[in-house]
């Protein structure tokens, strides 16, 4: 009688059988004589909770800029939902379902969260600037905004100008805007960067509750968020993929400990 497969084997098999929604193959990005991205290949599966980690200068943001079209690769290819998007402009990738957040907030400071979301939702539904005629005129827009405000814990501050919001709330609004674009792939670039410790828990819980059908690639230095969120991790060092695997394997990898996670605290916290 053959041995029963382990839980890890079953999970690994299920992951590889899931549809690949975003992939890059042998991506290279050179700036003069500097190679910032060196033959990076990555696959993001349907419903993924995938973290991209590595030390400062590893090339994480460069890779995200390549995936989203901010930069054009020196070599390699990028596919979204099976279609080659290597040379598409950023807004064309958004229309196809790839949305990102940024390390630094890019918000309309004079608008409230409600106004901001109404603008994004109305554009997503093809109504453009008609939102300004009457914010509550469209029942569908109002309902969607209400859902997003509640989901991202912004209801209490929905009428306040964005510029006066606590930084954690601004981060939540940024992710709410991204989700309002109805992405199939969401790239989160350091969502808790700069957020005070007292505001992080709310953000961690909200990120953990993102819709299961949205595939998420997370860049983050906060290991509490990474290990509580990610089901799979890719470690980038000097623009090259060092290793990839499940969180437990990454936490116990000697190479990863040596170059990034540290040799002491990571085993105790996440081993």
**68 with 100: CB under 8 angstroms?**
yes
Mean pLDDT of 178-184: 93
pLDDT digit string, tens, across residues 189-217: 888 888 888 888 888 888 888 999 999 99
Mean pLDDT of 130-148: 73
Helix (H, G, I), strand (E, B) or coil at 248: helix
- Asked whether residue 138 is domain-assigned, the answer is no
CATH classification at residue 75: 3.40.50.300
- Asked whether residue 59 is domain-assigned, the answer is yes
- Asked whether residue 198 is domain-assigned, the answer is yes
- Asked whether residue 176 is domain-assigned, the answer is no
- Asked whether residue 188 is domain-assigned, the answer is yes
Q: pLDDT band at 263, cuts 50/70/90?
A: very low
**How big is the chain, counted in residues?**
271
pLDDT digit string, tens, across residues 41-67: 999 999 999 999 998 889 999 999 999
Evaluate if residue 77 carries a pLDDT over 90. yes
- Asked whether residue 13 is domain-assigned, the answer is no
Structural domain range at position 206: 18-106+183-270
- Asked whether residue 164 is domain-assigned, the answer is no
CA distance 58 to 228: 22
Mean pLDDT of 128-152: 75
Q: pTM value?
A: 0.83
**36 with 236: CB under 8 angstroms?**
no
Total domains in the fold of the chain? 1
Q: What is the pLDDT of residue 269?
A: 45
- Asked whether residue 226 is domain-assigned, the answer is yes
Rg (CA), the chain: 20
């Amino acid at each position: 009688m053959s041995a029963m497969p382990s839980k890890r084997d079953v999970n690994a098999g299920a992951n590889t059988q899931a549809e690949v929604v975003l992939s890059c193959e042998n991506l290279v990005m050179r700036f003069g004589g500097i190679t910032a991205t060196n033959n990076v290949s990555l696959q993001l599966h349907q419903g993924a909770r995938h973290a991209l980690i590595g030390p400062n200068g590893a090339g994480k943001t460069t890779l995200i800029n390549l995936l989203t079209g901010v930069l054009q690769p020196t070599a390699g290819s990028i596919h979204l939902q099976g279609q080659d998007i290597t040379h598409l402009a950023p807004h064309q990738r958004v229309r196809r379902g790839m949305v990102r957040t940024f390390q630094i907030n890019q918000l309309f400071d004079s608008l409230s969260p409600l106004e901001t979301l109404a603008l994004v939702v109305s554009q997503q539904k093809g109504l453009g600037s008609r939102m300004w005629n009457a914010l509550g005129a469209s029942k569908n827009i109002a309902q969607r905004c209400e859902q997003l405000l509640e989901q991202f814990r912004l209801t209490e501050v929905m009428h306040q100008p964005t510029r006066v919001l606590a930084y954690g709330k601004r981060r939540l609004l940024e992710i709410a805007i991204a989700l309002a674009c109805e992405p199939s792939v969401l790239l989160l670039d350091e969502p808790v960067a700069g957020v005070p410790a007292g505001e992080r828990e709310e953000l961690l819980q909200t990120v953990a509750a993102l819709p299961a059908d949205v595939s998420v690639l997370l860049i983050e230095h906060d290991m509490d968020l990474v290990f509580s969120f990610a089901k799979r991790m890719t470690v980038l060092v000097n623009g090259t993929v060092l290793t990839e695997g499940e969180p437990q394997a990454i936490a116990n990898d000697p190479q990863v400990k040596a170059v990034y996670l540290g040799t002491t605290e990571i085993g105790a916290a996440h081993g």
